[in-house]
Amino acid sequence: MGESVSRDRASDLASQLAVDVNAELLELALTHRSFAYENGGAGHNERLEFLGDSILGQAVTVMLYRENPTLDEGELAKRRASLVSSVALAEVARAIGLGRYIRLGRGEELTGGRDKSSILADTVEAVIGATYLSAGPEEATALVMRLIAPLMLDPDRFGVSMDPKTSLQELSARLGRGIPRYTVTNSGPDHSKRFLAAVALGDEAPIATGEGTSKKYAEMAAARDAWATLSSL
């Protein structure tokens, strides 16, 4: 992809999101490490993702605290986990068509990288980080609120999604499939580790995987996907 084309796409995305973001910074937010590695070690979006993750978490935490004065800490934490998970962010990304703007390496392109939940979720966080650096904290927070608004309208968002591991265990027991077992690995530098969880039922092979910024979030993401798979059988 030529530089002018990628800048144009970044500009189109900025218009769609109604944010005033520096074009070069937004282009960086849309650049996956696979593209960088295949193009002479160009910059990629992982540092912006790290920043955006913190901004997203803070914005959602403050919103939930203010809008739910009767909920205790445990319930607030469950709702936050539901809204900032990789599964939720990938849902946000698909809703805005983010995949078509991402700069990917050839390998990721050929293996469906534009619709991989982990890549989509990471790119959402990177875009939030770029917005913070370009337009400041208020605009970044406003962007977060616009992005998660559709999730808040989902009547099932705070059902299974709030405690997916328990929901999966209960469903698996009803179906006689055994107790869920989780295997977690991690990668990346200490300041920006990514965790990958695989969940299996009883002695079966894993039926779902999930990614997150912590072991807990990765297991929750895997449990959500496994619950959805079992529910559809």
Q: Establish whether 49 is an annotated binding residue.
A: yes
Q: Is 46 a catalytic residue?
A: no
Say which residue the tokens 């910024």 belong to: 213
User: Shortest CA distance to 197 belongs to which of 205, 189, 206?
Assistant: 206
Exactly one of 91, 108, 125, 225 is catalytic; which is it? 125
Q: Establish whether 125 is an annotated binding residue.
A: yes
Q: What are phi and psi of 64, to 5 degrees?
A: -65, -40
Q: Is 53 a catalytic residue?
A: yes
What is the DSSP track for 21-87?
Answer: --HHHHHHHTB-HHHHHHTTS---SHHHHHHHHHHHHHHHHHHHHHH-TT--HHHHHHHHHHHHSHH
Exactly one of 53, 91, 211, 219 is catalytic; which is it? 53
Catalytic residues: 53, 125
Binding site members for Mg(2+): 49, 122, 125
Task: List residues forming the annotated binding site.
Answer: 49, 122, 125
